[in-house]
């Protein structure tokens, strides 16, 4: 696997592959890779001739009081895992390479509406940072397809909308959330949890499953959310949001919807965890 910080190197390699008529899949990451990322790379390999990945802890998507500096950087381990998974090219730019003029003097991409609710409301500017970096990385790598985890449901929707709105010729693939045996969704932020907090955090999936059952038995959405909030608080979570939305257009769910998504963000100590579950009612 070639690791490079150079935009020109990435472009030259991808161009050489494309000139031979070969296809390219892309998995952008912020590093500190876990089985969720590795699953994306393996899935990418089944869908294209070559897999390109990136590791870039994107400062533009972190708020002022968030964990940018503390975010784990584990390049050597990540490289080993990517080689094992079959990636051929890894882009590891610095912030200076990506934002040479500085972030505030940089053109940005903003997807209106869905960027402002839930995670977007709790983390103002977050999805502008995500859309901008993903758009830039797409323009650097120029992949045929790109893969993202469904754990970041709202992020996936923001990226799909951006690709659609800007007519980017890239197929976006969402890959199912990978979970620990306890049900806890894999995340780089799980590394901040103590063993005890990790055990408590497994309640998220149990609550999502229970809420899904309750929604299927036609209980009122408000009552289901209220019950879910109590369950999470009982094991020590401080809830950021717990909501039920239309899984396709992200509108607040109503009694007519047949495909819903339950979305949660909650703090265990100072660690903010997110998860979601799609529920089909029909
Ligand atoms: O999901 C992530 O790891 C990041 O938000 C992404 C998509 C790599 C953009 O920085």
Encode pLDDT of 54-80 as tens digits: 999 999 999 998 989 999 999 999 999
* Residues with Cβ within 8 Å of residue 182, at least 6 apart in sequence: 198, 199, 202, 205
Q: Is 98 exposed, middle or buried (0-12, 13-18, 19+ CB in 10 A)?
A: buried
Atom of ligand 1 nearest to the CA of 152: 1
Statement: 2-175 belongs to CATH 3.40.50.620: yes
Q: Kindly report the protein residue whose alpha carbon is nearest to atom 1 of ligand 1.
A: 29
For 210-231, what is the mean pLDDT? 94
Please state, for a pLDDT cut of 90, what percent of the chain lies above it.
Answer: 97
Q: How many residues does the chain have?
A: 282
- In this prediction, residue 197 carries a pLDDT of 97
126 is catalytic: no
Alpha-carbon distance values, 277 to 171, 203, 215, 233 (Å)? 23, 14, 12, 19
Among 10, 37, 90, 115, the active-site one is 37
Atom of ligand 1 nearest to the CA of 159: 7
Starting at the earlier edge strand, list the strands of the sheet with 50-55.
2-4, 89-91, 50-55, 24-29, 145-149, 171-175
Ligand 1 center to 89 CA (angstroms): 17
Which pTM does this prediction carry? 0.97
When pLDDT is cut at 50, 70 and 90, the band that residue 282 belongs to is: confident
Q: CA geometry: angle at 274 spanning 73 and 262, to 5°?
A: 155
Per-residue pLDDT tens for 232-245? 999 999 999 999 99
Equal CATH topology for 2-175 and 188-277? no
- In this prediction, residue 255 carries a pLDDT of 83
CATH number belonging to domain 188-277: 3.30.1300.10
Binding-site residues, ligand 1, Cβ < 6 A = 28-30, 58, 61, 130, 133-134, 152, 155
Binding positions for beta-alanine: 61
- In this prediction, residue 219 carries a pLDDT of 80
Kindly list the domain boundaries of the chain, sorted by start residue: 2-175, 188-277
When pLDDT is cut at 50, 70 and 90, the band that residue 218 belongs to is: confident
């Amino acid at each position: 696997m070639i690791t490079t910080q150079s935009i020109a190197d990435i472009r030259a390699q991808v161009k050489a592959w494309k000139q031979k008529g070969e296809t390219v899949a892309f998995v952008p990451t912020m590093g500190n890779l876990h089985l969720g990322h590795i699953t994306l790379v393996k899935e990418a390999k089944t869908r294209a001739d070559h897999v390109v990945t990136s590791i870039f802890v994107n400062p533009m998507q972190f708020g002022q009081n968030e964990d940018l500096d503390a975010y784990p950087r584990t390049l050597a381990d990540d490289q080993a895992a990517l080689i094992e998974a079959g990636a051929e090219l890894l882009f590891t730019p610095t912030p200076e390479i990506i934002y040479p003029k500085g972030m505030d003097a940089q053109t940005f991409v903003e997807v209106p509406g869905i960027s402002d609710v839930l995670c977007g409301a709790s983390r103002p500017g977050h999805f502008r940072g995500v859309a901008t970096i993903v758009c830039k990385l797409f323009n650097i790598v120029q992949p045929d397809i790109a893969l993202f985890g469904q754990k970041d449901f709202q992020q996936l929707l923001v990226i799909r909308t951006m690709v659609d709105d800007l007519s980017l010729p890239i197929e976006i693939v969402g890959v199912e959330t990978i979970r620990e045996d306890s049900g806890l969704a894999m995340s780089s932020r799980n590394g901040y949890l103590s063993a005890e907090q990790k055990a408590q955090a497994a309640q998220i999936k149990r609550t999502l499953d229970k809420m899904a059952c309750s929604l299927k038995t036609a209980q009122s959405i408000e009552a289901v959310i209220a019950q879910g909030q109590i369950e999470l608080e009982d094991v020590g979570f401080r809830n950021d949001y717990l909501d039920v939305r239309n899984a396709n257009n992200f509108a607040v769910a109503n009694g007519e919807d047949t495909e819903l998504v339950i979305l949660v963000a909650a703090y265990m100590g100072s660690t903010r965890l997110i998860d979601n579950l799609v529920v089909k009612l029909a």
